[in-house]
Structure 1
């Protein structure tokens, strides 16, 4: 055996012997009354320290969870900043909404119910039997902002354009009946047809218009004070105009001509 190995072995034996001596010494100290009280206090302190360490570990776990939640919140705030940037940089001018036009086949007018609107579809060629139905254009955000506050009341931009959708449905339903062949009309459609013809005047000839009775017939909206305010806004935005005087008032779609 080399001398270095022998020295390591002696050192290890001496270390173990020293630990045994310390253990025996501590055991003997624990038997003395004065030292036993001190050892009990040390044990109590160790127990308290252990409880504090457990609480500290729980607190660290909670802090880690809070930190993870804050990271997720920061990530979501980045998206919110983008939204705020878009909100603060809305273009001052939005493109005008173009007047749309729908083409209805004569055969479709005969086959469908008189009070249903014609659904738009891609048409490459226009058949010989056809009628054009043009719609009321939506108002733009600039136009809505230009409406006086006292006139808008609590109405929103979306509510105005939703009403325009309903008015367009009424216009389409009305003129589908007017374009329909009489021999294919049922009793209800025939009565409506005659009413539409009787409501025609020299002021409305060649123009799209609806009456209050058409609104009640084809629309789900109620003709109440709120709807009358919407009509006032549409007149202000030059979407509708009233012609004639006294009795029944036609609401003409401004700038849109009937194509026969």
Structure 2
């Protein structure tokens, strides 16, 4: 009901109330046979007034519910905005490398070995089952996907180097990478938890595994298991 309609309804109700007041003033003389019709009219007017008041009350309750829903939606949007801003400020820190920080300054060379991550779209995220998403947000999912790709970029940059020119620590990583490869991962890009700990500051905890479940559902990552090791293959 529009505001103009509400105003018209209020005016109508006020008019009815005024009419009832006038009719009640005649109640004292209602014993006269000539005025019985007037008293009957009073009853009819009161019934109409009762119906209008019920309609007005229903409209008020509906508007209260709508206002509460809008308030809740506004609160959720504000929380999402603040969380997105926080992630935007913190993502560069999560993508920093512990052993070789200079790699962060050269994203062009990293891209030679690992393709840029195809971020999850809003439509894809909305199609993820609610029990799987939980309280995760789209910015969190995409930030974690970028972290996986950043770790893979550092790993495969080492794999493309000449082992003879490596330091002993880098050469040790190189040999571990080769040992973790299988027939199923031939020609694929993958990382393991040790790579995430080596090249990023992300915590591989329950929340991160929940993110991985969403990434698997969206076909950005798949798992290859073997030799007590889980390999996260980038799709």
Q: How many residues align?
A: 138
2:54 is matched with: none
Give the equivalent residue in structure 1 for 2:148. 167
Work out which of the two has the higher radius of gyration on C-alpha atoms and give 1 or 2: 1
Partner of residue 228, structure 2 = 247
The 5 A counterparts of 1:42-61 are none
Contact 1:114-1:177 at 8 Å conserved across structures: no
Q: CA deviation at 1:236?
A: 0.3
Question: Which fold has the larger relative contact order, with Cα–Cα distance below 8 Å and residues 6 or more apart in sequence?
Answer: 2
Q: Considering only aligned residues, what root-mean-square deviation do their CA atoms show, in Å?
A: 2.6
Match in the other structure for 2:195? 214
C-alpha displacement of 1:131? 4.8
Give the conservation status (yes or no) of the 8 Å contact 1:242–1:251: yes
Does residue 1:119 correspond to 2:100, yes or no?
no
Q: Who is 2:212 aligned against?
A: 231
Q: Structure 2 vs 1, CA of residues 237 and 133 (structure 1 numbering), >3 Å: closer, same or farther?
A: same
Distance in 2 (CA, whole Å) between partners of 1:245 and 1:194 is 18
Displacement, 1:166? Answer: 1.0
SS of structure 2 residue aligned to 1:252: strand
Q: Which has the higher helix share?
A: 2
Secondary structure class of the residue paired with 1:243: strand
Length-normalised TM-score, structure 1: 0.49
Flag the 1:245–1:184 CA change in 2: closer, same or farther, 3 A: closer
Within the alignment, does 1:201 sit opposite 2:182 as a pair? yes
SS of match in other structure, 1:244:
strand
Equivalence for 1:179 = 160
What do the CA deviations read for 1:96-133 (whole angstroms, capped 9, x no partner)?
xxxxxxxxxxxxxxxx9488346345x9xxxxxx9532
Tell me, yes or no, if the aligned pair for 1:203 and 1:243 is still in contact at 8 Å.
yes
Give a deviation string over 1:38-97, Cα, whole Å, max 9, x none. Answer: xxxxxxxxxxxxxxxxxxxxxxxxxxxxxxxxxxxxxxxxxxxxxx9xx9xxxxxxxxxx
What TM-score results when the alignment is normalised by the length of structure 2? 0.54
Change (3 A) 1:113 1:187: same
Contact 2:128 2:214 in 1 (8 A): yes
